[in-house]
A and B are shown apart, each in its own frame.
Chain A
Amino acid sequence: MDTLAQEIQRLKEALDRKRDEILDLRKLVSEDIDRKFPSSAEEFSDRELEIHLRDSLAALEGREETKPDLKAVLSHRRTLRRPVEFIKRGLLQTTFESLNEFLDKQNEFNRRLSTFSQALLIRLRHDRERLKGIEEKVADCEENLALLTNKIEDLRSNLDRIR
């Protein structure tokens, strides 16, 4: 038993040292523990939908432009940086020249889609507010009805007592 205890202690100390040396959890367990999880909007609650709509619309708004940004084309060479950038930009411009008409249409479509989605969301919010207002009114009527019913019951039992 003592030999077993000693051996366990020895192995434990050795493994402890190894454990401390490895900072990355993934290496410690020797497997990839991270995954991607697809989620379906159909399952979302009202609050989750609201957040999803807000984020989706923001993402849509930033991605309307489909033409390449020539200023973003850079070269990281130490020498000949400027001529290389000039050539790269020139090539890109020439390539996209023929597509410009199509890209203009696509941009217009993207802009309209973005505005349309925004309008739908605003309308949805207005409708929700209206619905909330109606629900409050109905709730108020139900409360009054509950009170009236109880008052009638009260009167009826008083009447029965008098009789």
Chain B
Amino acid sequence: MTSRSDRNALPSETRPSPAEIPTAREVTEAVNAELREHGIQAAYNHLLRAELRSGGRKPTLAIYDNAFHFIGGAQKYGLTLAAALRDQFDVTILANKECRPRDFIDWYRLDLSDCPIKIIPLPYYEDKKAFHIDPAFITRETGNPFDLVARESGRYDFFVNNSMNEMVCPLSNVSVMICHFPERRPADYFYADRYAAVVYNSLYTASWIRKKWKLEPHRLIYPPVDMETGESGSPKKNIILSVARFEPEGNKRQREMIETFLKLSREWPEIVRGWTFVLVGGSPPDNAYLSRLEMIIANNPAGKVELKVNLPADELKSLYRDAALFWHVCGLTHEDPGEIEHFGMTTVEAMQNRLVPLVYDGGGLREIVDHGVNGFLISSKADLLDFTVKLIRDPRLVEELGRAAREKAQSYTRDKFENRVREYFGELLERVLAPA
């Protein structure tokens, strides 16, 4: 970390030479020309660029997410990015609803108390008292509530849009969209193609950016995963683990996994004797899908299946430490590419702790797991049964694949993520500082 006084100027390696610094008169003339030809925002941007090039201050960066007020994988990505860049930039966090630095520490173990948080309330959603700010409701008839965020974006050198929301028109000199997945096709208020750079979280996401948005994304930066418990050699217990949100729509396919385990318990009880299937995940209150799962389990007492809802992080860590196998079949019988795991953070968390992953053969999971090398890719419940039985019958294979899984998971650590982020934003900053 640099001290406060160091933080007020550009790093020495990026500071321009005196010959490159424009005079006051040149700046005024250029700003007036921009004002005449391209309008106020262009003139303002020119001024910010000139100020930055003169070396008098650090570049400013605003990172926006319409969901910073609740816990989520994409939000962890954005805030870890903010943490990685706060030495290079003066970072401001833009949100639409109240959120506190304390929450970021509790949810992601990220201390961002030195980054100001600016709340931009959106009257359209405030009137509806909506907790989730869902852009899917926005049409030409409603008008674009995100114009307020767009206006704010123009006050910074860099604007990073980390939300799954391409309705924010970026006005800053450098704009970066972090695309976690292109959920919607281009329609009213689609501005993804106005961003200078599109960063993506997996090759799977990139393929859909090309198909849905007809855009060529710019840089792959895999999400940060840091769930290592630090006990790399402790013996594993007979636990099959699944970690995924209990989504009311059932997209994570917990029902299918429970049915598979119960079938195994019913048809071949000797093979799973002593094994427990533990499903961990967050859930909203009054979740009908979760109630259905509880009923299935209650009606089949023979199979040892446990549901652990909204488990504290410490208990999850201890399960990662103990469990031997990891099941994740999100994407099985999908009807939309968005239902498949775009990356698969919990799979990497499991692999960091030597669990052997048995995961759906699709989406970002294909990039994480190498079939037969550090886990298995499955495309049906039959595959899940087949490879699980093979692993249960061969503890040496579990150990071998678990070790390989841990090795592969090292590609997705927080350190690696932060290095990639700093490198890429450093490149973007150089482009801004380069003489016009």
Contact = CB atoms under 8 A, between A and B. Distances in A.
A43 B39 CA distance: 38
A97 interface: no
B424 interface: no
Interface in A29-88: 29-31, 33-35, 37, 39, 43, 45-48, 50
A30 B42 contact: yes
A31 B38 CA distance: 8
A86 B225 CA distance: 74
A3 B22 CA distance: 11
B273 interface: no
A143 B385 contact: yes
Contacts of B381: 139, 142-143
Contacts of A1: 21, 54, 56
Interface stretch (A14-22, A98-106, A109-117, A118-126): A14-22
A28 interface: yes
B171 A154 contact: no
B151 A25 contact: yes
A137 to B, nearest CB: 13
A156 interface: no
Contacts of B113: none
A134 to B, nearest CB: 13
Nearest to A28: B41
A4 B194 contact: no
B267 A19 contact: no
B336 A47 contact: yes
Interface string B229-249: 000000000000000000000
B16 interface: no
Contacts of A154: 393
B414 to A, nearest CB: 33
A138 to B, nearest CB: 9
A8 interface: yes
Which label, helix, strand, loop or mixed, suits the secondary structure of the B interface?
helix
Given A8-B54, A29-B42, A146 B335 contact: no
Interface residues of A, number: 43
Interface in B238-280: 260, 263-264, 267-268, 271
B28 A5 contact: no
Given A37-B185, A37-B186, A143 B27 contact: no
Interface string B181-215: 00001111111001000000000000000011000
A50 B336 CA distance: 11
Contacts of A150: 268, 271, 385-386, 389-390, 393
Contact of B185 (A28, A30, A39): A39
A100 B373 CA distance: 74
Contacts of B191: 33
Interface string A146-163: 110111001000000000
Contacts of A47: 335-336
Contacts of B147: 25
B47 interface: yes
B185 A151 contact: no
Most chain B CB neighbours (cut-off 10 Å) among A46, A48, A145 = A48
Contact of A8 (B47, B194, B389): B47
A15 B24 CA distance: 16
A37 B47 CA distance: 34
Interface string B306-342: 0000000000000000000000000001011100000
B370 interface: no
B380 A7 contact: no
B385 A147 contact: yes
A29 B27 contact: no
A146 B50 contact: no
B51 interface: yes
B169 interface: yes
A130 interface: no
B51 A8 contact: yes
A24 to B, nearest CB: 8
Q: Which of A5, A15, A142 has the most CB of B within 10 A?
A: A15
A120 B44 CA distance: 57
Interface of B: 21-24, 27-28, 31, 38-44, 47, 50-51, 54, 56, 147, 150-151, 154, 169, 171, 185-191, 194, 211-212, 260, 263-264, 267-268, 271, 333, 335-337, 380-383, 385-386, 389-390, 393
Top 4 nearest A-B pairs (CB, nearest first) are A30-B39, A142-B382, A7-B24, A37-B186
Interface of A: 1, 3-8, 11-12, 15-16, 18-19, 22, 25, 27-31, 33-35, 37, 39, 43, 45-48, 50, 135, 139, 142-147, 149-151, 154
27 contacts: A1-B56, A4-B22, A5-B54, A6-B24, A8-B24, A12-B44, A15-B31, A15-B40, A15-B44, A19-B44, A22-B40, A25-B147, A25-B150, A25-B151, A29-B41, A30-B38, A30-B42, A139-B382, A143-B263, A143-B385, A146-B383, A146-B389, A147-B389, A150-B271, A150-B389, A150-B393, A151-B268
